[in-house]
Structure 1
Amino acid sequence: MSKIQAPYYPIIYVRGYAMTASEVAATTATPYMGFNLGSTKLRQRWDGKVIRHYFESPLIRLMKDWGYADCYAEGLEQGESLSPRSIFIHRYYDSADEHFGDGQAPSIEDAAEELRQLIARVRDGVCGDDAQRRKSFRVYLVAHSMGGLICRCLLQNSKFRRSEEPALVDKVFTYATPHNGIEMAGVNVPRFLGLWDMNNFNRSTMAKYLGLRSSTRVSSLNKRFDAERFFCLVGTNPEDYDAAGGWSSRLAGIMSDGLVKIENAAVDGAPRAFVYRSHSGPMGIVNSEEGYQNLVRFLFGDVRVNGQLEVEELPLPPSVQREKAAGRSVRASYFFEAIVAPRAATGYTLTERTTATHSAVFRRYDELFKPEREGLESPRWPWLFTVFLDTARITIGRTLVFSIDLSVSATDYQVDGLVAFNRHIPSENLLRESVSIRATRRSDGWLIRYNLMDESWGENLGREAPTDDQGVYIPLKSRKGFSGKLRLQMSPWNTD
């Protein structure tokens, strides 16, 4: 047997919701249930020519890049002497296909029980009777849409807490999972809507199978699993989701992936990334380069980077400033945008929060500078991103290089309660900055240098980032009067 070497544990893929009997049949007729689906998208090169970009699928890329293998051989699922670098598919819909089962779709709890049993079989297949291997065994759960709720049911529902399999789950990665339910036209899916099991996404129903007392919000892991080890990939493109003849996209609205609202697609306290991808389909979130790059860095990377913006000064346009100086009441809220990409990324980013995709961080003025008015003990500074990086991917030297595109803009200004439309200039920003970060690990921590790329080339050595009693930061200023600090926190990942 090959050695179990962290962080290369077996992966179990849990697919999403299949609505109709024909969709269930199509699902059970395929061995990988969507994890093998790739995509071909078009993008334009520097010389103006349009080329194809072939994303081969998460399954094939994990095989090519990381040495993983599927669990099938000679038409059968293998169950003995398995490599730890194996990929398994949770085929919970098989029972809903009359060829394999009784034609009845399993409940979320039934699917979670089958997942528990699958984890036990994977452990037996990888470890056999070797006590040391069984002790070091862990598994990753990777899930799309409703599959993430099945994973949460296993981890959170008290009926599974007495079994040992939930404790064997090392990390969970979800694509476009409705962690706080599904809303159509602003209304949560009704509990009585049992047709095609759509009530699985009703919050009252979810609260029961997730073991939560309250159904107001059901996005809590309820301390049953470490939220820091639960990654949520959030889609922000509703236009390319054409399910139900396009009605799903229209009813879900612009702040969604075409099915799941952006605000409902993450669990509380978990790292998350935002990508311009739809819920599924040719431009879907699972079969995307963005999804894959986030997946492998979260599973196998060794560095976590958090970015938060502390705002010191928010300037007003001169005409609005004069109104304020004259004693008139001025109100405004603000959008904070952030796009993060590693060096050598072509055609993808790790996270993209922008006003154009309705995913920018939104903050009211009082949340930033008058927190007591909002019932807060301290300012609610915008948390811009959490990304995972991998020093094994460094090709030059020993320095990690990544870029951050930042933008701060205001909503319409209100003067004495009236929107000052004549003061609005489209696309005006209080700050727009592109920053390249060069981070080198040393024995005493990280040396972080930065370049403001409007001023100098991103490949330059740059300036050393200053520190204060809160840690390292990048000072940000604009000629309009904005000032703030981009806080960077770098910490080891996948280390004991």
Structure 2
Amino acid sequence: MQEYMLPATHDPARETDPKTGRWDPRRMVGSFPPSRILSIVGTNSRDYSVAAGLSSAVMGVQNDGLVAIRNAYVYGGARAYIHRSHSGRYGLVNSGETYQNLSRFLFGGLRVEVALHGVELDRKDRIWQGEARLDIRGVPALIHEQTADHYCPIDLNATKKGIAGPLSPVPLMTIFLQPKNVRKCRYALDLKVISLKETGGIHGFGAHLEPIADWQDTLIVDVEVNDKGAARSVTWEWNSTLAGRIAEQAELPHQLDWAPGKSSEGQWQLPVPIAPMGQAVLGSDAHLQLSIGLWA
């Protein structure tokens, strides 16, 4: 397989896992940029029924029934975690979640990278995990779902250090926006932070309340576009500070200021502060960093 996938002129140093020193098929070969790749990562092993479920049973739980989560992505590329099996009736290939992600990846106009910055976690004898779900108004499926229930929580310890791994995407999430035919699109990013006490490599559940999070909130974002489909304004608010039902909120109070955040590469670096309840857990400087760039 290695000889089949690698051209004769490849650079071994670029495709080698620095930990094992062996070839890593998750690393791109050649000049094609990894940023132009989207990996759909399936997290539902139970519904993969090929070979009477033997493959799923052998693989365990951190997979889609055939491909392990740790092997289902390309380094440097975007990822979308969806609760689908590898194939079959509940497979990711023909799923609505995959369609929604691919249509935006192929035909979207904006690429948004979401990162968690300024976080100060109490790491003394504690393991920190996060969960993320992304929903779009009018779409009857979550287009991104990385949770502990699906055996793929975000490893916040590794994310804090900037270490990209199977459970610690850096950035936290990459979203492709395709707001055509709708003047205003509403997105909901649900975030959850959980901590577990660890002593001598053993988790302690004595003070743990399952499934209560240390912090959980939903960022509501409205993207308004002009006649050409380009984003004209972006407004946001945390659900915990909204009064009443989300559907009743015609206008969100905070607007992203695009002008000062534009970089020399044509991207916008825009901070969104975490709500006060979240800062009490994550630190007073905790915020989401949105890196927004044109995508074509």
Q: 1:266: which partner in 2? A: 73
Give, as a single letter, the amino acid of the residue that structure 2 aligns with 1:471. Answer: Q
- Of 395, 402, 423, 2:187 maps to 402
In 2 relative to 1, CA 224–419 (structure 1 residues): closer, same or farther, beyond 3 Å? same
1:461 matched to 2:251? The reply is yes
Q: 1:489: which partner in 2? A: 291
For 1:482, what is the secondary structure of its paired residue?
helix
For 1:454, what is the secondary structure of its paired residue?
helix
Give, as a single letter, the amino acid of the residue that structure 2 aligns with 1:473. Answer: P
> How far is the alpha carbon of 1:418 from its aligned partner?
6.1
Distance 1:244 1:338 in 2: 32
In 2 relative to 1, CA 466–331 (structure 1 residues): closer, same or farther, beyond 3 Å? farther
The answer to whether the 8 A contact 1:336-1:382 is kept is no
Any gaps of 5 or more consecutive residues in structure 2? 17-21, 262-267
Give the length in aligned residue pairs. Answer: 264
Rg (Cα) greater in structure: 1
1:447 matched to 2:233? The reply is yes
For 1:217, what is the secondary structure of its paired residue?
coil
The answer to whether the 8 A contact 1:315-1:430 is kept is no
Query: When you count helix as a share of all residues, which structure comes out higher?
Result: 1
Q: 1:209: which partner in 2? A: 5
> How far is the alpha carbon of 1:471 from its aligned partner?
2.9
> How far is the alpha carbon of 1:419 from its aligned partner?
4.3
Q: 2:177: which partner in 1? A: 389
Give, as a single letter, the amino acid of the residue that structure 2 aligns with 1:488. Answer: L
The answer to whether the 8 A contact 1:465-1:473 is kept is no
Q: 1:310: which partner in 2? A: 117
Q: CA RMSD in A?
A: 3.0
Q: 1:219: which partner in 2? A: 26
Give, as a single letter, the amino acid of the residue that structure 2 aligns with 1:236. Answer: T
Distance 1:415 1:421 in 2: 11
For 1:295, what is the secondary structure of its paired residue?
helix
Q: 2:270: which partner in 1? A: 472
1:289 matched to 2:116? The reply is no
Describe how 1:101-140 pairs up with structure 2 within 5 A.
none
1:362 matched to 2:155? The reply is yes
TM-score (structure 1 length as normaliser): 0.48
In 2 relative to 1, CA 448–375 (structure 1 residues): closer, same or farther, beyond 3 Å? closer
The answer to whether the 8 A contact 1:341-1:404 is kept is yes
Give, as a single letter, the amino acid of the residue that structure 1 aligns with 2:207. Answer: R
Q: 1:14: which partner in 2? A: none
> % of aligned pairs identical?
26
> How far is the alpha carbon of 1:286 from its aligned partner?
0.9
Q: 1:241: which partner in 2? A: 48
Any gaps of 5 or more consecutive residues in structure 1? 1-204, 317-329
- Of 412, 423, 438, 2:222 maps to 438
RCO higher in structure (CA 8 A, sep ≥6): 2
The answer to whether the 8 A contact 1:308-1:381 is kept is no
Q: 1:333: which partner in 2? A: 127
Distance 1:465 1:487 in 2: 15
For 2:223, what is the secondary structure of its paired residue?
strand
- Of 204, 208, 223, 1:420 maps to 204
Q: 2:57: which partner in 1? A: 250
For 1:422, what is the secondary structure of its paired residue?
coil
> How far is the alpha carbon of 1:264 from its aligned partner?
0.5
